[in-house]
Chains A and B, each alone.
Chain A
Amino acid sequence: MSRVRLLWRKSLNAVMLTLTGVAAFAVVSVLFLILGYLIWNGGRSLNWDFFTQLPKPVGEEGGGMANAIVGSLKLLFLAAVMGLPVGLIAGVYLAEFGGKTFSFVVRYTTDLLNGVPSIVIGIFAYSLAVLPVKHFSALAGGVALGIMVIPITVRSSEEFLRAIPGSLREGAMALGASRWRTIATVVLPAASGGILTGMLLSLARVAGETAPLLFTAFSNRFWSPGWGQPIASLPVMIYTYAIAPYDDWHRQAWAAGLILLGLVLLANLGCRLALRGRGMGRS
């Protein structure tokens, strides 16, 4: 009787081990499949032209996405300027001050905001920044992306600030430092590594958002001077080119996808390495 039980337990263990192993492998292979596909298709079309030339008129071969690359960078810059300070200061409030009820409300609404579909945020930014002036602009795109950056920054800043032990704050206050001074000169510098990487990750996340840009920044086949004009971005270009009937455009869309994924991967890897160096692990 017990021998049967033993066999049953052993085989159950083996089945579960296999199942979990297969599932883990599936997860990893999905990423590598996407990467492989992108590298294969996009790598062939990556050339100097892609980075330096503007899109050619419809139907003509060649050209590049220089304006989209710069456009994405400009949009990320706007998102950073608008969303990161708000997120950081809100994170400071949650970690250092905040009564029980208000903090709960702030955290809950932050999580809700994080869950709002990006296209809905796009509509919101559209009514806020596009309708009043009756044209698309980089600024409107920045607003949409900035809103998306806020929840991630708030939560990660709060988490890294909370990780700083209270004894450090006590030490500073016992020397006569006021509350805000303690935060500014001891707590924030101590948490700066984690906070900065959290910010970088939030930017990496919104770098690939397409839906909110569709009706805020729209797109542009030329350079977009200033901040008040429609602007090209990598994700929107991928969208436009991928559904077009031209093979050459498909090829370019692959290349753009590769660039985008490469940037995101680079940011993620860089953050992990930087955090590990500081001895503050983040799973």
Chain B
Amino acid sequence: MRVAEKISAASEKEALVRFEISDLNFYYGAKQAVFGLNLKIPKNRVTALIGPSGCGKSTFLRTLNRMNETIRHTRVSGKILLDGQDILQMDVVGLRRRVGMVFQRPNPFPKSIYDNVAYGLRINGYKGRLDELVEHSLRRAALWEEVKDYLKKSAFALSGGQQQRLCIARALAVDPEVLLLDEPCSALDPVTTAKIEELMFHLKDSCTMAIVTHNMQQAARASDFTAFMLDGKLIEHSETSKLFTTPTDPRTEAYITGRFG
């Protein structure tokens, strides 16, 4: 899907875009962290957010499911539309069921593997066949084969990479439309990283993904679109192949060639 085609098809735009962010400003108390950000996150694609440390990419990611509201004294202005609805006006609990998140460090609950995956389903009042859904989620997260005989074991018995895939399975269990991943592989080894990138590829059909990553090779490998941020501003956003081979902004080029960051 070419960016130029997207701009021309006005009516199609709404169907192809999952998140539309307009003029987003974010403040931690008096300090502004995000400046006038405008971005469209396409549906059923992986969008990578890259940039040096402290550029605001994680902060921005967390505004998409309003997780920043758990921190005191934060303020957000601007519009964030999810399928046309402003998420800032939405019920936050309902929003988080549609937009899931996987964190940098695996954070499984001190419960069994089964109960971890079933947690989201249970708190949503799902009364149906939990077993099947748990299995389905674990399969989507490429973890089923490894844990199918140990579902009642504590989640802490798993390795780091398995725990992270468990967290992905847990997030997928409620069938979110969007999955936000905040540097999900930074604490993992390359083999597990490759597994997670592969599962992201398979998830694209059912899920829109936005991933913050420090690893540019990962962004180049695993994403369809990439957005480069610097000092809280969006510098450039285009198809991954285009951004990494012929970036339009000199700052983008400086970053991806390793001159800073």
Residues of A whose CB lies within 8 Å of any CB of B are 165, 167-178, 181, 185-186, 189-190
Contact = CB atoms under 8 A, between A and B. Distances in A.
A174 B123 contact: no
B171 A175 contact: yes
B96 A168 contact: no
Contacts of A190: 109-110
B107 A175 contact: no
Interface stretch (B97-105, B213-221, B222-230, B238-246): B97-105
Nearest to B65: A174
A173 to B, nearest CB: 6
Interface residues of B toward A: which range? 20 to 34
Contact of B103 (A167, A176, A177): A167
Given A173-B67, A189-B110, A190-B110, A178 B105 contact: no
B109 to A, nearest CB: 6
Given A168-B107, A181-B123, A185-B119, A174 B67 contact: yes
A31 to B, nearest CB: 35
A172 B119 CA distance: 8
A116 to B, nearest CB: 34
Contacts of B103: 167, 170-171, 174
Given A167-B103, A170-B70, A175 B120 contact: yes
Contact of A175 (B94, B96, B110): B96
B234 interface: no
B9 to A, nearest CB: 33
The CB with the most chain B CB atoms within 10 A, among A165, A167, A171, is that of A171
B70 A175 contact: no
B100 A174 contact: yes
A175 B67 contact: no
B123 A171 contact: no
Nearest to B173: A175
A166 to B, nearest CB: 9
Given A167-B105, A186-B109, A190-B110, A176 B67 contact: no
13 contacts: A167-B105, A168-B107, A168-B110, A171-B109, A174-B67, A174-B96, A175-B120, A175-B123, A175-B174, A176-B96, A176-B120, A177-B123, A181-B123
B11 interface: no
Interface string B163-190: 0000100110010000000000000000
Contacts of A186: 109, 119
Contact of B109 (A172, A174, A178): A172
B109, B120, B124 interface centre (most CB from chain A within 10 Å): B109
Which of A173, A176, A181 has the most C-beta atoms of chain B within 10 angstroms of its own C-beta?
Answer: A176
| 4 closest cross-chain pairs (CB), A and B | A176-B97, A167-B107, A174-B101, A175-B120
